[in-house]
């Protein structure tokens, strides 16, 4: 991140979510080069964030650790049933209503026309995920910061966050709690190689718990690490800057490590891997989401 003028403050979210209860090697705390003031906190949605003061000039933010994974794909439960609204925990209720990027109220008629005859519970969630996956064409060139679920439904194109927004909005339109989630996702277990990446997906509250539904990939994936969740992308930006800045490079590594002694693993964490940058052109935005 480079900038000019006065010192700039921003918030950063790149650490695993507190619900990720897996053995971890190394520290996932955010570090900077040059060193600067960092204040870590948990927001009202229980996401781990940091407030950072960045001096004028170039500043690099990074975080790196190793998270143990079971090697199993995303869990599924065909018996999960839809909860009645009166039976939902009160902290789930906000995920029933429209939000900035998920205009469920505007999609209600379309949702009920498409999925009203589908069985409730897990089967209906699968039907919506299948429809979004087949209706929307993925491509980085289709992404833009102000694109909403209604736009995605109309245009039929988007990036992973757009798939998630449309899926979440259609679920809420049918009175089923759904939230936007983002985190790390590698290519472990898939044949098509690509970038290691941040990824967005949807989560649905069925049978008293949250379940992953990734409409973009539409298949169980291995090694998914939740970073943050909220009503939509506006709640969980990876970076929010208060002041002018240019994002010149974004690199993500989320790779499988072969079994090794712990001291060798710790040594590997001393340097950052060589990976391709995801940002190919300069970007100047207040939020990167």
Residue 255 to residue 80: CA distance in whole angstroms: 32
Domain ranges, ordered by start, for the chain: 85-235
Residue 52 to residue 153: CA distance in whole angstroms: 37
Identify the pLDDT of residue 26: 79
Identify the pLDDT of residue 43: 94
Identify the pLDDT of residue 207: 95
Nearest to 89, CA basis, from 17, 168, 177, 172: 177
Q: DSSP letter string over 136-196?
A: -EE-GGG--TT--HHHHHHH-EE-HHHHHHHHHHHHHHTT--EEEEEEEE--TT-SS----
Identify the pLDDT of residue 281: 45
> Is-cis flag, bond preceding 167, omega within 30?
no
Averaged pLDDT of the chain: 87
**Cβ–Cβ < 8 Å for 168, 205:** no
Whole-model pTM: value is: 0.87
* Per-residue pLDDT tens listing for the chain (289 residues): 444 335 678 898 888 999 988 888 878 888 888 888 999 999 999 999 999 988 778 888 888 888 888 888 899 999 999 999 999 999 999 999 999 999 999 999 999 999 999 999 999 999 999 999 999 999 989 999 999 999 999 999 999 999 999 999 999 999 999 999 999 988 888 876 555 568 999 999 999 999 999 999 999 998 899 999 999 999 999 888 887 777 777 777 777 777 778 777 777 777 766 666 555 444 444 444 4
Locate 166 and state its tokens: 């449309």
- Domain 85-235: top CATH class: alpha beta
Locate 173 and state its tokens: 């339109």
Distances (CA, A) of 126 to 84, 93, 215: 19, 22, 9
| Interval 117-162: pLDDT, tens | 999 999 999 999 999 999 999 998 999 999 999 999 999 999 999 9
């Amino acid at each position: 991140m480079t900038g000019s003028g006065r010192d700039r403050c921003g918030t950063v979210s790149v650490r695993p979510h507190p619900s990720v209860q897996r053995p971890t090697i190394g520290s996932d705390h955010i570090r900077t080069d040059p060193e600067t003031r960092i204040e870590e906190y948990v927001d009202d949605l229980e996401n781990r964030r940091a407030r950072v003061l960045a001096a004028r000039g170039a500043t690099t933010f990074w975080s790196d650790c190793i998270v143990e994974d079971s090697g199993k794909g995303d869990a599924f439960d065909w018996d999960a049933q839809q909860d009645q609204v009166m039976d939902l925990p009160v902290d789930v209720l906000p995920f029933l209503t429209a939000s900035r990027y998920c205009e469920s109220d505007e999609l209600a008629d379309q949702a009920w026309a498409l999925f009203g005859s589908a069985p409730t519970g897990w089967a209906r969630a699968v039907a919506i995920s299948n429809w979004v996956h087949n209706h929307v064409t993925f491509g980085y060139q289709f992404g833009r910061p102000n694109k909403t679920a209604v736009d995605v439904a109309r245009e039929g194109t988007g990036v992973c966050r757009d798939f998630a927004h449309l899926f979440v909005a259609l679920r809420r339109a049918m009175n089923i709690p759904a939230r936007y989630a983002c985190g790390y996702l590698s290519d472990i277990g898939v044949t098509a190689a690509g970038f290691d990446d941040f990824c967005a997906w949807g989560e649905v509250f069925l049978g008293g718990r949250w379940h992953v539904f990734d409409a973009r990939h539409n298949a169980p994936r291995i090694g998914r690490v939740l970073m943050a969740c909220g009503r939509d992308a506006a709640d969980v930006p990876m970076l929010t800057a208060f002041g002018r800045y240019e994002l010149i490079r974004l690199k993500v590594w989320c790779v499988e490590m072969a079994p090794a002694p712990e001291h060798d693993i710790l040594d590997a964490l001393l340097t950052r891997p060589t990976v391709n940058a995801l940002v190919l052109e300069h970007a100047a935005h207040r939020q990167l989401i």
